[in-house]
């Protein structure tokens, strides 16, 4: 399980680094957030507005709440877990409200579930090492 956790987190880190680099420097040439989807530009804008931005804001609200309640994460993987859960929640709401049940949103939903599972398993392992 340790190898799966490390390998998965390395893949997520490489993918997000690539997306940040493309988003910062090549947004005009590659405006679609996910390069391998069947979404057109309008669907991608709606996906970004209804899933990605609310997940980001939900994550920020969670950590603001944690700050004011005086609680700190017990491992560095806890923020990754919270982001994965936020994306999973917004995907579920997106499926109920607007997302078409096509291949791409379902694959993205399962990727979010997988990331959440791996981050939670890694967090539990790291938390047990701390105590």
Residue 101 has pLDDT above 60, yes or no: yes
Give percent of the chain above pLDDT 90. Answer: 0
Residue 20 has pLDDT above 60, yes or no: yes
Q: What is the pTM of this model?
A: 0.62
Task: Select from 92, 86, 125, 112 the least CA-distant residue to 34.
Answer: 112
Least confident of 10-14, 16-20, 49-53: 16-20
Residue 79 phi, psi (nearest 5): -60, -35
- pLDDT in the model for residue 130: 54
Residue 6 has pLDDT above 60, yes or no: yes
Give percent of the chain above pLDDT 70. Answer: 77
| Chain segment 41-94, per-residue pLDDT in tens | 777 777 777 777 888 878 878 877 877 777 776 667 778 888 888 888 888 887
| pLDDT bracket for residue 9 (50, 70, 90) | confident
Residue 33 has pLDDT above 60, yes or no: no
Domain ranges of the chain: 2-130
Identify whether the C-beta of residue 21 lies closer than 8 Å to the C-beta of residue 35.
no
| pLDDT bracket for residue 34 (50, 70, 90) | low
Task: Select from 66, 76, 72 the least CA-distant residue to 122.
Answer: 76
């Amino acid at each position: 399980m340790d190898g799966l956790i490390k390998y998965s987190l390395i893949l997520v880190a490489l993918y997000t680094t690539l997306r940040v680099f493309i988003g910062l420097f090549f947004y005009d040439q590659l405006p679609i957030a996910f390069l391998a989807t069947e979404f057109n530009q309008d669907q991608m804008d709606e996906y970004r507005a209804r899933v990605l931005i609310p997940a980001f804001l939900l994550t920020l609200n969670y950590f603001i709440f944690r700050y004011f309640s005086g609680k700190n994460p017990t491992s560095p993987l806890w923020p990754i877990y919270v982001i994965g859960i936020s994306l999973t929640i917004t995907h579920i709401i997106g499926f109920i409200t607007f997302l078409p049940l096509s291949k791409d949103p379902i694959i993205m939903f399962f990727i979010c579930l997988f990331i959440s599972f791996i981050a939670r398993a890694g967090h539990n392992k790291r938390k047990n090492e701390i105590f």
